[in-house]
């Protein structure tokens, strides 16, 4: 499936998590899970989900290089295709995550989708993009609900892949995120809280496809 949609299954109920993943896995680019899911279900959930497609572990890693390496190695060993890390801890910490990922992809946070991102992170976005590039990160995380900032990040990112949260429950639109420079759009609650997650995924895929063709 040629999709640019990443579905965030921020769920702690294993049965519901696996049911939705099984239904939508063949129609999305990847499934994203975060700390609560992994803490409650264990890292084995990564391998279970990888049966349905690519899995991105949204861990927003922010520690010293050795700890970053341990975290990344653990989830990659279980089958993660990608890992999300913070970049504000510095180039050495991010580089450790990148090197430990081996063939897996590391996405670096340079701006977030919640209002508090403007308190600190957004003041240093340009520097964080440079840190990410120098550390060898595969891609960047930028806000899908802030088209102006996302477009600015796109200009600075070069050929780095941009993945964007903030679409759906946080007010952003998938089509607008794509037009502003996103390569991959993350949607969570609008899918897993839907009465029909598969239909929600298909509608989002169509919205993204139409925005690309314009």
Cβ contact 188:9 at 8 Å? yes
Q: Is the pLDDT of residue 52 over 70?
A: yes
- pLDDT of amino acid 93: 98
* Domain assignment of residue 144, given as a range: 5-213
Looking at the structure of the chain, the number of domains it has is: 1
Q: Is the pLDDT of residue 1 over 70?
A: no
Q: Whole-angstrom Cα distance, residue 100 to residue 94?
A: 10
Taking residues 64-69, report their average pLDDT. Answer: 98
- List of residues 6+ apart from 138 with CB closer than 8 A: 82, 98, 105, 106, 107, 160, 161
Residue 60 annotated to the active site: yes
Catalytic residue among 16, 32, 54, 60: 60
Q: Pick from 178, 119, 193: which is nearest to 147 by CA?
A: 178
Residues making up the chain, counted from first to last: 214
Predicted confidence (pLDDT) per residue in 111-128, tens digit? 998 989 888 999 999 999
- pLDDT of amino acid 211: 86
Going by pLDDT thresholds of 50, 70 and 90, the confidence category of residue 212 is confident
Return the CATH number at 71: 3.20.20.70
- pLDDT of amino acid 95: 98
């Amino acid at each position: 499936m040629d999709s640019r949609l990443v579905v965030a299954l921020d769920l702690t109920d294993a049965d519901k998590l696996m049911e939705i993943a099984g239904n939508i896995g063949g129609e999305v680019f990847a499934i994203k899970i975060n700390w609560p899911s992994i803490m409650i279900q264990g890292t084995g959930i990564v391998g279970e989900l990888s049966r349905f497609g690519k899995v991105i572990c949204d861990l927003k890693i922010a520690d010293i290089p050795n700890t970053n390496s341990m975290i990344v190695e653990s989830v990659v060993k279980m089958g993660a295709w990608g890992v999300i890390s913070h970049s504000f801890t510095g180039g050495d910490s991010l580089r450790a995550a990148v090197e430990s990922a081996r063939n897996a992809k590391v996405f670096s946070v340079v701006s977030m989708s919640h209002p508090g991102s403007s308190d600190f992170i957004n003041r240093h976005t340009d520097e964080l993009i440079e840190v990410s590039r120098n550390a060898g990160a595969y891609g960047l995380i930028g806000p899908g609900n802030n088209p102006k900032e996302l477009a600015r990040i796109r200009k600075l990112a070069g050929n780095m892949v941009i993945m964007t949260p903030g679409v759906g429950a946080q007010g952003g639109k998938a089509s607008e995120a794509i037009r502003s420079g996103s390569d991959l759009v993350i949607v969570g609650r609008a899918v897993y809280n839907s009465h029909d997650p598969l239909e929600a995924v298909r509608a989002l895929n169509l919205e993204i496809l139409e925005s690309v063709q314009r």
